[in-house]
Amino acid sequence: MIASARDIVHIVSSILARDEPPVEIRILSFKKDRSITLRMPVEGTVEVSENGFDQRTFNCSKEALPKLIAELGDREFPRSHRVRISLKKK
């Protein structure tokens, strides 16, 4: 799915609320050179991997996730208007 970069937090929150774990969500820049990967192996815990400007991995709760996604989205997709979002259910 192609979505607006401003709607990342809303779309990710709705996917995680709707789907049962294990779930993997990839957010890619339109050129596919930068990405944010979210993995939810069990309920309540989310592993976030940043691959682009920085390569880091974070573990956080679902409550802290919107703020982290907003920060990472601003850093990884600063001039992007559109991003690609893919969902993989395991």
Rg of the chain in Å (alpha carbons): 12
pTM over 0.95: no
CATH of domain 2-89: 3.90.70.20
What pLDDT is stored for residue 19 in this prediction? 84
37 touches 56 (CB < 8 A): no
Max CA-CA distance within the chain?
A: 33
pLDDT tens for the chain, residues 1 to 90: 899 988 999 999 898 888 888 899 999 998 899 999 999 988 888 999 999 888 999 999 988 999 999 999 999 998 889 999 999 987
Find the distance separating the first CA and the last CA of the chain, reported in whole Å: 18
Rounded Cα gap, residues 35 and 64, in angstroms:
19
User: Domains of the chain: which residue ranges?
Assistant: 2-89
